[in-house]
Structure 1
């Protein structure tokens, strides 16, 4: 019976997270969404037009953080920690070699294996599995500490739902905002 209760609790938590994510985006999501469709402009750093690093820097400035200006400098920035592709979370920077000479493109990981970036067709969201980018992927850097990540990249209702549910039951529940996965640990 306890396993069934834990399963039902987990399912309810997962559904609550999914419903919450449909209505309340994180600050990162809200910032990126407002910029979708803005034209590409080489060297651009404003809503008049962005290049990839100009877009990335603009988003992070809106979130309260300054980044180096170029994708190459962002990739080698001491503040950024390497992160494996399978460990990406929203807000991580993803880098590509699009011109054959090392780091030349950057985007912002937004979850569900997708990243936001200023491409030649303008600001858009693209799958990391899209063949063009999959072949050119170089790596990722985590530039947000845990506190900043919680403030800007986690959807508010998801955090509240997990917190409320975890305090209402002896099971400890955690969720991963980027994937929506919920893990419930029961006391032994």
Structure 2
């Protein structure tokens, strides 16, 4: 780190000159180390996504919340708990707890809610968005935790905050 006018700046910025370095540092600080609630949520969601993926092959069991067997909301509850966030137990209660996000702004780690209608009562399944139209989820009795394409257009997305 170089020091100019009593301000420590990285070597790259010191080559720009004092005024440019200070301007670049002031502008660049928010770009290099952003801290916003959405960045924090994305980080938490991605951590939860990795936890869910690590459970690949774990058997489905209705009502199970891990660490070796899961139902759909049990997997999301477990994954987000390991990522440092608390979620309610059921898919419908999780739907009511998250901040809705439009499909166009969904990101890896967001929850994907499958529904038969418009209300929270119509939510029947939940998974964690993995990107490219896929989710990690615990589908149903006789299956295991797996990565799968989203099979319905009747979905909503939510971000854990």
Normalising by structure 2, report the TM-score: 0.63
Counterparts of 1:38 and 1:87 in 2: how far apart (Å)?
30
User: 1:122 pairs with 117, 124, 144, which one?
Assistant: 144
Counterparts of 2:88 and 2:110 in 1: how far apart (Å)?
15
Q: How many pairs does the alignment contain?
A: 111
1:140 aligns with: 157
The answer as to whether partners of 2:53 and 2:136 remain within 8 angstroms in 1 is: no
Q: What are the residue-to-residue correspondences of 1:142-157 with 2, within 5 Å?
A: 142-144=159-161
Counterparts of 1:53 and 1:68 in 2: how far apart (Å)?
9
Helix, strand or coil for the counterpart of 1:105?
A: strand
**Are 2:118 and 1:96 aligned?**
no
The answer as to whether partners of 2:112 and 2:156 remain within 8 angstroms in 1 is: yes
1:46 aligns with: 66
Unaligned residue ranges in structure 1 (runs of 5+): 1-25, 145-188
Helix, strand or coil for the counterpart of 1:50?
A: coil
1:70 aligns with: 90
Question: What is the alpha-carbon root mean square deviation over aligned residues?
Answer: 2.0
**Structure 1 stretches of 4+ moved >4 Å:** none
Structure 2 vs 1, CA of residues 44 and 27 (structure 1 numbering), >3 Å: closer, same or farther?
A: same
Counterparts of 1:49 and 1:103 in 2: how far apart (Å)?
21
**Are 2:131 and 1:111 aligned?**
yes
Unaligned residue ranges in structure 2 (runs of 5+): 1-45
The structure that has the greater radius of gyration is 2
Counterparts of 1:62 and 1:143 in 2: how far apart (Å)?
13
Residue 29 (structure 1) shift: 4.6
